[in-house]
Amino acid sequence: MRVVITGGGTGGHIYPGLAIAEAVRELHRDAEVLFIGGDGLERRIIPQEGWSFRRVVAGRIRRAVFWQMPWAVAVTAAGTAQALLLLRAFRPHAVAATGGYASAPVGAAAAALGIPLVVQEQNLYPGATNRILARWATTVSVPHESVAARFPGKAVVTGVPVRAKALRGDRIRGRRRFGLDERDFTILVLGGSQGARSLNTAVAEMRAALASGPTVQIVHQTGKDHIAGVQEQIARRPGSLRYVAVPYIEDVADAYACADLVICRAGASTLAEVTANGRPVIAVPYPYAAAGHQESNARLLESAGAAVVVLDGELSGRRLADEVTALRSNPGRLEAMAAASRRLGRPQAARAVAELVLQAATRR
């Protein structure tokens, strides 16, 4: 059994692909999995995770920047030619596309060669690449019932695939790992490489604002590009509140396990991990996400009672401190939010998508 997984540009497309690969290998131990992507984060992350990776050229098509479209179309055509050669050499039984412009050439090549294509959409508002590839797909995996109507006859509600390393953490081990107090209220902050600056700054300010309030401790994943700036801000605002800043958390399951509250952006993959772990969340949507999809993701959790949404334009350290204090002083509300988060969570989503991929491969 040979499977190609394609997608990239951001972690929101890469990590679901990795989760699908893990689940495919779990279901079919002899499966050969090849990732094909572009020059984005996937080129570094996927080989680090131990998977084979091949690169094709790809260009982002922005309709608003119309003068760049001829170049982007030409690059995508060149990438499709490269993908045709790679697929003919590897001879996959199925291709899974998780979105991002890097998946367009590979999806198009799969359609041209008659290879079954499974599209995995993470967001409530489907991305442009996945909307195009869905025309040729045998199946489209979607995160929620509200998205299924966009892909009539093809949609299967699976949730967003979550990596095994984001699940089944240990609370005691996590608190010891990060040097945390066993009893204090713990906040996990997940900043990232894209759009994290305003969130990271607000969290540093929140730390100072919380110093005189209830006993709180913070674990802050800043993103590798922002750790130095965050540490500089913290040095300017000394305080007694326990605060651990790290650029990246490799095995995030223990971090989720020891958290009483999560503060994060509203990318679909991050929120899928949060709900799979049943954690209440303050979600701060990235304001420049395509079609405002991060706010849509966050509002779904808010309407279910699992999240408090703070828009980026309203974001400040004081606002976050007020929200944390209100939740910290209302344990019943926090418990209700955690329960709502668990109801939304789909920890088996990766396996469900992997089954769709293997079914498509078998039909071929």
Same domain, yes or no, for 76 and 151? yes
Q: What is the pLDDT of residue 235?
A: 78
Contact yes or no for 305/196 (Cβ under 8 A): no
Same domain, yes or no, for 185 and 274? yes
CATH number reported for the structural domain that contains residue 288 in this entry: 3.40.50.2000
Q: Which residues of the chain have pLDDT under 50?
A: 63-67
Locate tokens 């008659």: which residue?
114
Q: What is the pLDDT of residue 351?
A: 98
- Give the chain's length: 364
Residue 55's beta-bridge partner residues? 37
Q: Which two tokens stand for residue 286?
A: 């990235």
Same domain, yes or no, for 173 and 285? yes
Quickly list H helices, the chain.
11-27, 42-48, 69-90, 103-113, 128-133, 145-148, 171-177, 197-210, 227-236, 253-257, 268-276, 293-304, 317-328, 331-344, 349-363
Same domain, yes or no, for 113 and 99? yes
pLDDT tens across 239-277, in order?
A: 678 899 999 888 899 999 999 999 999 999 999 999 999
DSSP letters, 210-268, are HTTSS-EEEEEE--TTTHHHHHHHHHHS--SSEEEEES--SSTHHHHHT-SEEEE---H
pLDDT tens across 305-319, in order?
A: 999 999 999 999 999
Same domain, yes or no, for 149 and 212? no
Same domain, yes or no, for 173 and 92? no
Give 214's Cβ-side CA count (13 Å radius). Answer: 16
Nearest CA to 35 among 19, 22, 21, 48?
21
Q: What is the pLDDT of residue 65?
A: 47
Same domain, yes or no, for 7 and 123? yes
Q: What is the pLDDT of residue 234?
A: 78
- Residue 203 DSSP code: H
Domain count, the chain: 2
Same domain, yes or no, for 337 and 353? no
Same domain, yes or no, for 147 and 244? no
Q: Which two tokens stand for residue 353?
A: 């998508």
- Dihedral of alpha carbons 153, 157, 159, 161, sign: negative
Which amino acid would we find at residue 43? R
The strands making up 52-55's β-sheet, listed across from edge to edge, are 52-55, 32-37, 2-6, 94-97, 117-120, 139-142, 155-157
Task: Tell me which residue range forms the domain holding 60.
Answer: 2-162+347-363
Count the neighbouring beta carbons within 10 Å of the beta carbon of residue 152.
8
Same domain, yes or no, for 81 and 192? no
Same domain, yes or no, for 140 and 61? yes
Q: What is the pLDDT of residue 319?
A: 97
Same domain, yes or no, for 10 and 154? yes
